[in-house]
Amino acid sequence: MIMLQKIYKLCECFEKQDRKTGIMKLINKGYSESTSIKYYNIWRRHYMDSNSKDLMVSGIYIETRRERKLLEECTFLERQRYLEALSKEQLIKITQAVLK
């Protein structure tokens, strides 16, 4: 699991820059383009939603016909649709994974 604190440290002061510049800075730090985009998107979503820096990324992926995304990268509506479609046992497993 990736700690959100690590992503916050990597993306420090990115709120003053545009998306492209932020992603390029992560690439310059040695991360691949796809990883840089994921980190930036996760940071942006959490930065806009909360100021909490002690949350952990769940490591849970949502697969659609076209792509595979981390739960944290999904929009609120995508997460809501995904979680509503799960059974009680699956929800318990996800909750336990997030709380670890």
Task: Kindly state the average pLDDT of the residues 6-21.
Answer: 82
What pLDDT shows up at residue 100?
64
Task: Kindly state the average pLDDT of the residues 12-23.
Answer: 83
Query: What is the number of alpha carbons within 13 Å of residue 55 lying toward its C-beta?
Result: 15
Neighbours of 32 (CB within 10 A): 10
Of 16-20, 23-27, 42-46, give the range with the top mean pLDDT: 23-27
Say if pTM beats, i.e. exceeds, 0.85: no
In terms of residues, how long is the chain? 100
| Vertex 72: Cα angle to 25 and 9 (nearest 5) | 35
* pLDDT exceeds cutoff 90 at 71: no
| Vertex 70: Cα angle to 7 and 93 (nearest 5) | 110
Q: CB–CB of 69/62 below 8 Å?
A: yes
